[in-house]
Structure 1
Amino acid sequence: MKKFMRTRGAAPDAPRANGHANGVAGELRYDDQHSTLSRCCSAAGAAGARWEDAGFAPRAALGRRARAVRWLRPHELCARPRFMGDAELEGEAEGGAGEADAGEAHEAGEALGAAAGEAAARWRCAGAGGAALRGLRAAAAALAGTPRLLARAVPPHSFRRHYTGAFRFRFWVFGTWREVCVDDRLPVRGAHLLGSRGALPDDFTLPLLEKAYAKLYGSYAAAQASERAGGGLARALQELTGGVLQSFAPPQQPRALLYQVLAAAVPRSTLLVATAAPEKENGTRRLRNGLLAGQAYCVTGLARVRGAAGDAAEAEGGGALVRLLAPGGRGLWAGAWARGGPEWRALAPADRDLLARRAPLPGHFWMSFADFARAFGRLELVHVGPDDWLGEPALHGRRPWRAVLARRRWRAGYNAGGPPGARAAHCNPQFQLSVPRGAAGRCHVVVSVTQQYAPGGAASRLLAIGFAVYELPADAAPRRAALAPPAERLRALDVTHESRAREVATFFTLPPGQYLLVPHTRARAEAAFLLRVLTDDHTDVWEVNDDNVIIRDFASVYAEMGGNVPPDIQANIAKVLGQWPPDEAEGAEAELEAAQLRAAVRRAGGGRALAAALLALRDPAARARLPARDLPALLALLGGWRRAWPRGACALPAERLRALLWAAGARASNKVLEALVLRHAPAATLRRAAFLLALARLHLAHERFRALDAKVKSNPISLEEMILMTIYT
């Protein structure tokens, strides 16, 4: 597994790799030379026709609700429609060609506030229709403060320049950015849009984003059903940012834990989005404390004041103030520590001025930590990777995360061992995390496991997933412990509750030391997963693996025995060699036919395939003959393999293959072991004949690699590649 942090930035409008999961599929290209759709749309625009999306027809988008619905373009609904890209064009036209205004520096704050208000109005609904997606709308409004992140998911388009009727959006789906292209025909019933309409009457960014989101899920109804299933805001935040996401319910969390989460997340490149209460069906409503239920508030700061009324213990956030940003300045807090309240007058002037300077933008307000824990029903944490931190200037004042990712999959019989406590839990994928002794204090760590999913798929298709964190002893060997399950030898620091969700994530702190991360799912369940590890300090993360090694070479087995051949092997040799005259059998050039070797292997418990593999070990010229002097060593080696198999067992679970290989004098890497299970253990069941054949093929691959390595100075094939090729021959 590769650990990296990018240091080279990309173009502002290019999709970034985000350091952990956003760059798994590489950067996408959207120019006309690489996109057939772009050329088609350009040609349609030149001819005067507008592109129509045949892949998202009206009946597919709305189903039965498509009756009595007209699909109109923005130009048919408004004289001068706008998208996010048109605002920049208008600013260029008004600003002139590079002439500087004398009062530009003085008016920068007002301009920033006006821009923030306009951005918030773009995502504020002016009257939701039946197809409104409230979680998506709230997520886009929360990301207005990080315009580069938002522009990756919602690239600027224009109704003024190069308009073809096609609009592209990007959503993060299981580690890759998926492009969704829709036309700008919107569903209208009567004189109203069926979806959301932004507070800016001529801006169509929100309804077009909703249409693209509905296409991602298959229809408007499927997107709405996904929101109703739970986590509408959280899911939309992840699909728009690609970050690692955690959800909390502040009223249900211990105050000390909630304060630790805020204190650790606020200084780092983590977006914190809080909502006051679940949104009602009739839209948002103002609460008695001034907040708007359902509106997304961004947590932007944390401070501690002296002498605050009702202070609790410092560890539980006593005397702490939380700074939040209300989109567009709507729904400001009206309780304690509101602007102009008596709490501010009780502060020292220096402290009051310092807190005021820390909340310069319109819409910022302070509230006590205790009020925050009571007033907000949900808190979403979006941990942003290092590449996004580099590309988003709004995050440069925060400390970036370091990121590690690994794409793996659980396979039945190989590494789907089940949750901790299961019989085969030690077979699960294992990743070692090393926090160096030089790390300052404790290292903040975020671990996330995401299983493969399909947008709009039923939640019942998701597996119950989780992960466990174990503390390793200081002298732990950097290899898999195949014979002793970790749960029996190690102390578990944290075991997540299995959740039938797309992603499970935990935010915790670790002192310097060695740790083991073990993702798990249901025993013998198969699914791909993405592991992401974020740390705020230098750490090393790698997958625990074994080397491909043959401990007992067949050429040395007979020599180590000193000629003391076991009676059963000696009798088998006598039956084969007894068919020849004594002078020929003892000759140096005596050779066995393939049929004679098959008979000997059959008496030793093997079959035709095993005999062919053993013959290939000592027949490099492919003459189908074996020197008679090599027969005792081969049969002795075969006898050692048979002794590694439990006596009396006809078949064993495939999860025991690694331990059996160790007992037979061989070690295999994770990839080789997976290939052996797929090739020799159908239905995750291993039989003795298949086990012996797997060992013979491993020995054959090692022999071929040594022969090739001796002939070629710069061997382009690795040992693992040679083994994988040999397994499937």
Structure 2
Amino acid sequence: MKEAGSAVCGAEALVEDQEFPSDNSSLFSDSSTPIAKLHGNITWHRPQEICQSPVLLPDNINLAHAKQGLLGDCWFLCACTVLLRNRHILNKVIPPDQPLWGDCRYRGFFLFRFWQQGYWMEVTVDDRLPCINSTLCFSSCHSPNAFWVALLEKAYAKLHGSYERLWAGQVSEALVDLTGGLAEHWSLGDLSLDEGQMADRDSEQIRRRRLDLNRLNHVKDNCLLSCSTNSSPGGASELGQYHALNVMEWLDVKAESGSEIRLLRIKNPWGRGCWGGRWIEDGASWRSIDPKWASELQSRVAEGEFWVDEAEFRSQFDDVTVGYPLNEEGYLRSIYTAISCQAGG
């Protein structure tokens, strides 16, 4: 790190990170991904140069969720949601009380921690962020003056060697890096196996394929549930070959017929609509449940979110990743037994 420019309060110069400089070496590794077309178009700006009153986290936590930019790191952004659900983990990854913009102690850099090979590794970056026309070109928050996601993404890119190396990955990998915990992965593929196929698979493989959301009910408020598609599902023709999304909540509602319907609210890190399923706004399926319930559930949908029923969820998505929740003492809660056991952190 070296000093450059002047601080907000005029006391000391702002830091520039020489290990992860604001140039192409931090952006690209081999220029093999679509962001290679951004060569020569990216400029670097500090948050106070992007907006008038930057903050790390917005007061309204609903506006703190990540919004994906031009970088294909939906897997990382989905995992970041676990930090918003667990304040003690957020404080571990982003240590509180760091000097912010407008504070005379602010020096233009931030400290983050990631779980690596059994311990918390500290990563420090300056707050110069990649932009196009003074607008963040990679991740951002739904609140335009909040920068925790963009700065955390930069630190994660430094950990990996470049932004480009964040293109494509597994949600489970990022979850472990952000929590020091464990994550499990299921396939939502075809479960209609004949007896011969069943004999070829051990019981663990079969159990893993049969995701039962009821097992997660006792940890659903703290665990992270992400779903992904490896091809373009019928309801989301915009989605690419691989795309990860978050399950924000699920609940059972009673249909007018008396039967129960399980609905899941999905958040797309793109931050915009991309779904054409049965439960879109004003879709016919909403008429199958009590109008008051229908109105209540539709009011919960934020930008980039949509509802699906469980049958649609299983047919349209290929994989599910579940992150075990950790309590403040660093103990994991099993999604099978609710028993806590020691974990990293």
Q: TM class by shorter-chain length?
A: 0.5 to 0.7
The alignment status of 1:274 with 2:227, answered yes or no, reads yes
Change (3 A) 1:244 1:254: farther
Pick from 358, 361, 367: which aligns with 2:300?
Answer: 361
1:376 paired with 2:317, answer yes
Secondary structure of the residue aligned to 1:207 is helix
Which residue type is aligned with residue 246 of structure 2?
Y
**What residue is the counterpart of 2:338 in the other structure?**
536
Describe the superposition over 1:143-188 as per-residue Cα deviations: whole angstroms up to 9, x where unpaired: 5454554453245652122321011112122332222110112345
Q: Establish whether residue 238 from structure 1 lines up as the match of residue 176 from structure 2.
A: yes
2:56 alignment partner in structure 1: 84
Distance in 1 (CA, whole Å) between partners of 2:88 and 2:315 is 32
Higher relative contact order (CA 8 A, sep 6+): 2
Indicate yes or no: 2:71 matched with 1:118. Answer: no
Aligned positions, number: 304
The correspondence for 1:331, drawn from 273, 285, 308, is 273
Cα deviation, 1:600-624, whole Å, max 9, x if unaligned, reads xxxxxxxxxxxxxxxxxxxxxxxxx
Instruction: Specify the alignment match of 1:386 in structure 2.
Output: 327
Partner SS, residue 247 of structure 2: strand
2:93 to 149, 153, 173: 153
The equivalent of 2:12 in structure 1 is 48
Query: Which one of 225, 229, 235 corresponds to residue 289 of structure 1?
Result: 235
Task: Give yes or no for contact 1:266–1:301 (8 Å, CA) kept in 2.
Answer: no
Counterpart-to-counterpart distance in 1, 2:89 and 2:340: 25
Query: Contact 1:142/1:297 (CA < 8 Å) preserved in 2?
Result: no
Task: Normalising by structure 2, report the TM-score.
Answer: 0.67
In the TM superposition, residue 245 of structure 1 has moved relative to its aligned partner by 0.8
Q: Could you tell me whether the CA contact under 8 Å between 1:270 and 1:384 is conserved in 2? A: yes
SS class of match (2:19): helix
Unaligned segments of structure 1, at least 5 residues? 1-36, 38-42, 89-114, 281-286, 312-318, 391-399, 403-443, 446-534, 540-729
Q: Partners in 2 of 1:62 and 1:239 — Cα distance?
A: 21
1:59-74 superposed matches below 5 A: 60-62=25-27, 72-74=44-46
- Give the counterpart letter for 2:277 in structure 1: G
Of residues 298, 301, 325 in structure 1, which corresponds to 2:250? Answer: 301
User: CA RMSD for the aligned pairs?
Assistant: 4.5
Q: 1:166 aligns with which of 77, 102, 109?
A: 109
* SS, match of residue 178 in structure 2: helix
Instruction: Give me the whole-angstrom Cα distance separating, in 1, the residues matched to 2:330 and 2:249.
Output: 16
Change (3 A) 1:386 1:207: closer
**Does the 8 A contact of 2:55 with 2:146 survive in 1?**
yes
8 Å CA contact retained: 2:64, 2:141: no
Question: CA, structure 1 residues 146+330, in 2 after alignment: closer, same or farther (shift >3 Å)?
Answer: farther
Could you tell me whether the CA contact under 8 Å between 2:188 and 2:317 is conserved in 1? yes
State the SS of the aligned residue for 1:387: coil
State how far apart, in whole Å, the 2-side matches of 1:334 and 1:263 are: 27
- Letter matched to residue 50 of structure 1: L
CA contact 2:236–2:275 (8 Å) conserved in 1: yes
Instruction: Look up the match of 2:149.
Output: 206
Bigger helix share: 1
Name which one, 1 or 2, has greater alpha-carbon Rg.
Answer: 1
Distance 2:120 2:137 in 1: 28
> How many Å separate the matches in 2 of 1:200 and 1:279?
30
Task: Note closer, same or farther for the CA distance 1:245–1:75 as it changes in structure 2 (3 Å cut).
Answer: closer
Pairwise CA distance, 1:84: 2.0
Letter in 2 for 1:212: A
Q: What's the TM-score once normalised by structure 1's chain length? A: 0.35
5 Å-filtered alignment, 1:503-582, equals 535-537=337-339
Q: What is the CA-CA distance between 1:74 and the residue it aligns to?
A: 1.6
Residue identity opposite 2:93 in structure 1? A
Other-structure match for 1:186 = 129
Which residues in structure 2 correspond to 1:475-494 (within 5 Å)?
Answer: none
Q: Which letter does structure 2 place at the counterpart of 1:61?
A: S
Task: Give the deviation of 1:124 after TM superposition.
Answer: 1.2
Work out whether residues 8 and 101 of structure 2, in 8 Å CA contact, stay in contact via their aligned partners in 1: no
Q: Which residue of 2 aligns with 1:652?
A: none
Alpha carbons of structure 1 residues 330 and 149: separation in structure 2 relative to 1, 3 Å = farther
Show CA shifts across 1:646-679 (max 9, x none): xxxxxxxxxxxxxxxxxxxxxxxxxxxxxxxxxx
Tell me by how many angstroms 1:536 deviates. Answer: 2.3
CA distance in 1 between counterparts of 2:338 and 2:46 reads: 46
Change (3 A) 1:219 1:538: closer
Conserved? CA contact 1:81–1:202, under 8 Å: yes
Greater strand fraction, Structure 1 or Structure 2: 2
Partner Cα distance (2:46, 2:137) in 1: 14
Say which SS state the counterpart of residue 219 (structure 1) adopts: coil
User: Which residue number corresponds to residue 197 of structure 2?
Assistant: none
Aligned to 1:54, the other structure's residue is in SS state: coil
User: Given that residues 142 and 298 in structure 1 are in contact (C-alpha distance below 8 angstroms), is that contact kept between their aligned partners in structure 2?
Assistant: no
Q: 3-state DSSP class of the match of 2:123?
A: strand
1:134 aligns with 2:74: yes
AA of the residue aligned to 2:127: D
AA aligned to 1:80 is: Q
Secondary structure of the residue that 1:56 maps to in structure 2? coil
Partner Cα distance (2:156, 2:9) in 1: 24
Give the direction of change, closer, same or farther, for the CA distance of 1:383–1:141 in structure 2 (3 Å limit).
Answer: closer
In 2, the alpha carbon distance for the partners of 1:150 and 1:298 equals 19
The percentage of aligned residue pairs carrying the same residue is 24
Structure 1 residue 216: deviation in Å? 0.8
Q: Does the 8 Å contact 1:323/1:367 carry over to 2?
A: yes
Alpha-carbon distance in structure 2 between the residues aligned to 1:331 and 1:367: 13
Tell me the amino acid that sits aligned with residue 264 of structure 1: R
- Alpha-carbon distance in 2 for matches of 1:171, 1:152: 9
- Measured in 1, the distance between the counterparts of 2:283 and 2:134 equals 45
Structure 1 residues 117, 295: closer, same or farther in 2, change over 3 A?
farther
Q: Contact conserved, 2:64 with 2:146, CA < 8 A, in 1? A: no
Change (3 A) 1:132 1:196: farther
